[in-house]
Structure 1
């Protein structure tokens, strides 16, 4: 991020199309290191969700899994990131038969770099937490699309329409 995009106190910096996607290397559900840089040359959908095995996050992960073949055929990889530990992600994957790659960001550093962690409204109260967000990273590692505060239900269908997939 450039110095001109410095966020207000308590508000994460927001990424916009054209920004360089923050690189990351995070463990997957099996503890293997997955790096965004290893996906250069492919388009990547990176989505951030609050917690494995909760109703909304389960719906979203299942929707991505159900559409994984369509996205892959259009040249997209899909990475789901939450602050959960790899062990919890493995249980989530097994319980829901997920095929999407789930990554653990327990210190929230990647969530923060993408502006997907910060103040949000939860049942009328302002709390710090994961802001459900989705990013499309192009083949050169630039943000092609940035969606903040997405809804768990219907989001993947809308994304497919937006990407014309």
Structure 2
């Protein structure tokens, strides 16, 4: 299932010849599952483009930071994306930070399209669970905030452009 990952691309990409990452990209988050102990984590996202340029989604990646709570293998599902879930991929990586020993990185394939200046991606609905649907406790997760039931900017989820952090704070 390919996917951009953190290595993105050097050069081109259709906007500005591979210069510095665009200022003005923001990430909004809401917790679609606010239950502390559950078998699924459901972070939803919107990427906002306040830059002067159209941005290929394939240049961007999102990271959601959490703790594995003893769960061995996590699985990423996309439940909905306006540009079609088949153009997203989720990969997991190890983290070393406060309230995070793991992250999911959501990347977009070229067919996901372009985020037009002044627009948002619309709602991207992610769902994470262990292979055996074991119980996880979200209260210990860096990116989780059960008060965010509507989309809000949240700096504990991170957005990258061509592998460079452009929004949020890593744990």
State the TM-score, normalized to the length of structure 2: 0.32
Structure with the larger helix share? 1
Higher relative contact order (CA 8 A, sep 6+): 2
State the TM-score, normalized to the length of structure 1: 0.33
